[in-house]
Chains A and B, each alone.
Chain A
């Protein structure tokens, strides 16, 4: 139970309570000494009258003082809070929400975090002497900033100079840590004070049932302190290269979220920065509480890595309006061609035609680098090294490899499958259902003398096909297919048929799956069932499908981490090397690679991180200075987890439900910072005024009787 004042400035008026005393003292006459004869009579008279008059004067003075004091206190808007301070004098754990949503601009143009720190410091200062307290941070890796201490200034300077993390909130862990700190203590004299903006995402409530009951929790809600709620955030940025055009055009695809439930974001400015300057810009139009996407392109002539960021117009929470990207253009598409029916005669193998089509002169001019493997060699290959996997006439994949392929596609890989005489429809239908949304029905073979199947070409039907015009179109139309599989779609699966035969049968089935795609060509990719591979159009046709499909390979090639995530997949050979990471701030961190593959987990801020490789230092070398032979081996970006950007707040009802059975008090920070709004508790202004009136009545009564 505690008495708080919403307008504490009026308490200075309490000094005015000294006025009656002052008046009493000033008007008190100088004491005169008079030698007198009938003193015994005076004494006798005094005995009679003293009880009535003299105490009344002091009583009146006291009553006037009290009336003035009550008036000042009434003006200060006293609030009697029954919960506050219930655990004062014992142990208190303060949980400070330092997630990046606390960077939201507050009404005082500082951040919510600063308001929280101010309140926290005030709360610590108000703790009774000898009380112990601890501070736990509530971001993802919630940790104990200050163990139990009685020193009120222990973290004062640190807190004032600190800033929030770039991590999302994790109230669960923080509460767990707070309860751990209070374990075994007398529950009557302890409590938890949580200073947070009540972001909904931080409250999972999974471990709340394990928390000890009877420890009161006071939640100081800082959300009211925000200047405005977070309006929008950039939630994803990906960069791809326009392979089909053959030019060095980078395509930056940005996704932004409109968090407003009522307001449509119109003309939300989107800008792309690279090499320190703005490359392109555009506008986004996003419906209320919806996601909007926009692709912006810009040419780049710079060799090597292209790094930069996309950003949208700033709002109350600025930090989530920018996302970083890093991309290395002109990469060769690594294509793994799996030959299911290898022959000793090269041109009898499917892979022969595919390899020639993808890289005609083995010069890499096509930006495609095919690698040929047999089924037996397949498990030795790391699929992460490839963007596209082409299965040619494969009968059956190694045991369990279907799952690996699924994972590959889900992560953004491309699977292109051609059929053939080795194809086993039973196996295909039973095991590859996830990858391909259809079943092989039967094999159609054109009888001798009958009209073969021919492709129906529409240049406008698909981006890949748009170059097949004129002569190329006619050539494509003359390709003869002798055998092919008919298919039946599986129910409830989404796919498209970008290429068909003249009789309407599907020739190529394109299926989006996760971040990748699968393609099924119902005939062979060699000359067994058609004469397509020896046609001039086979080369651009296959190349274009591969390049088209590889648009989604950015996910494979780029390492885009979230703040707090660990980098362990280096995509480069680290043997005999020492890894140095250069953080966005320029700080260098050396990672030892001698014993095991290093893990980098200091991704504590968003930005562009460089991976530098050097030869392993000689014994005795200075391991704190970056060697001069360091080479840039890769770049990865670290961005914010957009989950924290969502400004939706958890309601007090939901909190009560999550922390059921515990004493929870939610206090608005507005009440603690600004005395303008009433605080929870019983307002005492009226009773104080009534008491003052009563005192004046009593004074009048005494004066009248005197």
Chain B
């Protein structure tokens, strides 16, 4: 039995998968003009540089021709381009399901899914391993990183069939997940980060301490940033907060201040922990996020190359 066989492809899932796939592929094809490099060095056919031998280096990597010429033991180093293991952590809590009453091209969840699919497609296209973890206050679904092109289907299926709801407990989830995540890999965290308590620093610290490169995408609907509503409104929480009855105009200014403070705080936390942080609002194209990702990857590769 192949892995594909376990998927339950009902028509709705298929439709969702195909839409997600088309969006992701288009996104990546439009942006990808060249390959990206892994910053990790490993065994490969592509020579990178020499380095003096030190105990522990493989003997077979000693360039004997150089030893013969210079009488120095030089070890050949090669660029490793295919061994990036990336885990995408996608927030599937209730708050991610917010749908703006106004017309939007993508809802927050769709946006996040599209982003996840695009990242997956991009990485798999370059033979990197990609995994997907869906979480709310616990790990809902975990797809370990694989580099097979067919793995994309698993990820798409995971995204298409994901169930949402519950509260967000990033710290808790990361703590549980840490053991299962590969060392020195990459973690892309996509969440709205709308949690009443300060969980982010703890979660990020846990990830970075394990040598993981972390990219954090905070996805917010413009409504959540601006609070553009009018009238007497009862706001029902998508998670487990009690509902609030108010005229948003009365609190708009305060709300915006609070939201900006929250974003600023997240940015600060990320900066301090060396985490790449990008705020994405759903009105902007997911391509922007992808460009940012590629830019970061490129910079990172140059920095560490």
Residues of A within 8 A of B (CB): 28-46, 48-50, 53-54
| Complexed CA–CA distance, A31 and B236 (Å) | 12
**Interface-lining segment among B3-11, B119-127, B200-208, B240-248:** B240-248
| Complexed CA–CA distance, A26 and B28 (Å) | 53
A37 x B238 contact (CB < 8 A): yes
| Complexed CA–CA distance, A45 and B234 (Å) | 15
Minimal beta-carbon separation of A631 from chain B (angstroms): 98
A34 x B250 contact (CB < 8 A): no
Q: Considering residues A30, A33, A35, A43, which has the most beta carbons from chain B within 10 angstroms of its beta carbon?
A: A35
A50 x B250 contact (CB < 8 A): yes
Minimal beta-carbon separation of A697 from chain B (angstroms): 24
Q: Is the interface of A mostly helix, strand, loop or mixed?
A: helix
Told that A36-B236, A39-B243 touch, could you supply 11 new A-B pairs with CB distance under 8 A?
A: A32-B233, A34-B235, A36-B237, A37-B96, A37-B238, A38-B95, A38-B259, A45-B255, A46-B254, A49-B251, A50-B246
Q: With A30-B231, A36-B237 in contact, is A53–B250 under 8 Å at CB? A: yes
Q: Which residues of A contact B242 (CB under 8 A)?
A: 39, 43
Q: Which residues B190-238 have CB closer than 8 A to chain A?
A: 192, 194, 196, 221, 224, 227, 229-238
Q: Which residues of B contact A44 (CB under 8 A)?
A: 254, 258
A34 x B241 contact (CB < 8 A): no
* B22 part of interface (Cβ distance < 8 Å): no
Nearest A residue to B98, CB-CB: A37
Q: Which residues of B contact A28 (CB under 8 A)?
A: 232
Q: Considering residues B95, B238, B242, B244, which has the most beta carbons from chain A within 10 angstroms of its beta carbon?
A: B244
Nearest A residue to B257, CB-CB: A45
A36 x B246 contact (CB < 8 A): no
Q: Which residues of B contact A37 (CB under 8 A)?
A: 94-96, 98, 108, 192, 194, 221, 224, 237-239
Minimal beta-carbon separation of A31 from chain B (angstroms): 5
**Among B101, B232, B254, B257, which residue has its beta carbon within 8 angstroms of that of A29?**
B232
Minimal beta-carbon separation of B253 from chain A (angstroms): 8
Q: Which residues B242-296 have CB closer than 8 A to chain A?
A: 242-248, 250-251, 253-255, 257-259, 262
A33 x B192 contact (CB < 8 A): no
A-B pairs with beta carbons under 8 Å apart, 6 shown: A36-B236, A37-B108, A42-B235, A45-B251, A45-B254, A50-B246
Minimal beta-carbon separation of B196 from chain A (angstroms): 4
Nearest A residue to B231, CB-CB: A29
Residues of B within 8 A of A (CB): 94-96, 98-99, 101, 108, 192, 194, 196, 221, 224, 227, 229-239, 241-248, 250-251, 253-255, 257-259, 262
* In the A-B complex, the 6 residue pairs with the closest CB atoms: A45-B254, A37-B95, A29-B231, A39-B237, A45-B251, A45-B255
Nearest A residue to B227, CB-CB: A42
Q: Considering residues A30, A31, A35, A37, which has the most beta carbons from chain B within 10 angstroms of its beta carbon?
A: A37
| Complexed CA–CA distance, A48 and B254 (Å) | 7
Nearest A residue to B248, CB-CB: A42
| Complexed CA–CA distance, A31 and B98 (Å) | 19
Q: Considering residues B230, B238, B242, B251, which has the most beta carbons from chain A within 10 angstroms of its beta carbon?
A: B251
| Complexed CA–CA distance, A53 and B95 (Å) | 28
A41 x B236 contact (CB < 8 A): no
Q: With A49-B254, A53-B250 in contact, is A39–B234 under 8 Å at CB? A: no
| Complexed CA–CA distance, A33 and B234 (Å) | 5
B241 x A39 contact (CB < 8 A): yes
Q: Which residues of A contact B229 (CB under 8 A)?
A: 34
Q: Which residues of A contact B108 (CB under 8 A)?
A: 37
Minimal beta-carbon separation of A164 from chain B (angstroms): 66
A41 x B231 contact (CB < 8 A): no
